[in-house]
Amino acid sequence: MASGFLSLSTTSRCSTTRSDGTVRWVIYLHWISLSHRRVERAAQRRSKPRALVAKAIGQVFCWDITYLPSTLSGAFFYLYLFIDLFSRKIVGWQVFECESAAVASALVRDICASEGIEPGRLTLHSDNGSPMKGETMLHTLQRLGISASRSRPSVSNDNPFSESCFRTLKYRPECPLTPFANVHAARLWAETLVRWYNFEHRHSNNNFVTPQQRHTGVDQHLLDQRDRLYRQARAKNPQRWSKNTRNWNYIDRVNLNPDSTPRKQKNTISKTTI
């Protein structure tokens, strides 16, 4: 008795042969891919960066690099930004045409000189980019007596103050809708925004004083004035106040990556006799 394959017509036999060959070829390619598959490294648990606390200026700096678009497709300018954690002041910045540990190291040296940073006092926090981990940068930090702190890979929440500052600057009306024609234009834009941020922007996390006012230490006097003004207004017309006055207390510490999330302080003060 003839087999089923032999009983098929010539056209059917050719079709069946091509189909069988395709299946065998797919199986062979699959086997090759499995046989050459490299051993994948097991997932590693990344620990949270150590908690940092700034109780005065010049104790903790955060820095990062953000892309600025250029008119050349695929090319960017790079804004380097350094922030004092305690005051939120931008203590150093520059725009370059490349990401480089060498230019970042030069900026760190200039900032330490202008801010009077003494060896062994400052901790510099950043993410895990190559300019942050470059040999030139590490050598500079060691020579200046600066302790390095870095985020976990691909975890932007570990460097929130830099990310928040970038968002504030890029959402300002001064930010152009078109790419920058050259690095000089990008630097002019950054200079204008940094001046506004440091000297005019009343930062909410600074209790609505500017970073420059907090950095120079005049914020406590301003907050005391505001507190007296609010108390006087409440005493004159208590019917307008359904609750207590705003909390204008001085902020004496700023946490970065705390071990536990601190409770948010309510924006009120205890009731006082009027």
pLDDT of 271: 39
Closest to 86 measured CA to CA, from 224, 212, 264, 247: 212
pLDDT for residue 195: 96
Give this prediction's pTM: 0.76
Q: What is the mean pLDDT of the chain?
A: 83
Confidence grade of residue 48 (pLDDT, cut at 50, 70, 90): confident
| CB burial of residue 78 (10 Å; 0-12, 13-18, 19+) | buried
Tell me what the mean pLDDT of segment 194-215 comes to. 95
User: How many angstroms separate the first and last alpha carbons of the chain?
Assistant: 112
CB-based contact 206:251 (threshold 8 Å): yes
pLDDT of residue 45: 67
Closest C-alpha to 221, from 210, 213, 230, 233: 213
SS3 of the chain: helix, strand, coil, percent, to 5: 40, 15, 40
Compute the distance between CA of residue 251 and CA of residue 264 in angstroms, rounded to an integer.
13
The residues, any chain, with a CB within 8 Å of residue 237's CB and separated by 6 or more, are: none
